[in-house]
Structure 1
Amino acid sequence: MKHLAEYRNPATAKQLTGHIAALVTRPWTLMEICGGQTHSIMKYGLDRLLPEQVELIHGPGCPVCVTPLECIDKAIAIAQRPEAILCSFGDMLRVPGSGRDLLSVKAAGGDVRAVYSPLDAVKIARENPQRQVVFFAVGFETTAPAAAMAAFQAKQAGLANFSLLVSHVRVPPAMEALLDAPDNRVQGFLAAGHVCTVMGYTEYEPLARRYKIPIVVTGFEPVDILGGIHRCLKQLEEGRHEVENEYRRSVRREGNQPAQALLAQVFRVIDRPWRGLGVIPASGLGLSPEYAGFDAENRFELGTVSAPEPAECRSGLVLQGALKPDRCPAFGTRCTPEHPLGATMVSSEGACAAYYRYRHAAHA
Structure 2
Amino acid sequence: MTCAASLACAASLLLGPYGSNAAHAMSQARSFTAEESTTINLFKKATPSVVSVTNLATRRDAFTMNMMEIPQGAGSGFVWDKEGHIVTNAHVINESANVRVTLGQDEYMARVVGVDMDKDIAVLQVVLPQPAQLGPAGQGVEPTIPATMPGGNTMPRPVYPKLAPVTTPLSQDLPKVQPLCVQLSVDNLEVGQRVYAIGNPFGLDHTLTTGVVSGTGREIQSVSGRPIQGVIQTDAAINPGNSGGPLLDSSGCVIGINTAIYSPSGTNSGVGFAIPADTVRSSVTQILEFGKVVRPMLGIAFAPDQAVEALGVKGIMVLNAREGGPAWKAGIVGTSRDEYGRLVLGDIIRTVNGTVIRSSTDLYRVLDKAQVGETLDIEVLRGSSTEHVNVTLAPSDA
Give the shorter-chain TM-score range.
under 0.3
Structure whose residues are more often strand by fraction: 2
Structure whose residues are more often helix by fraction: 1
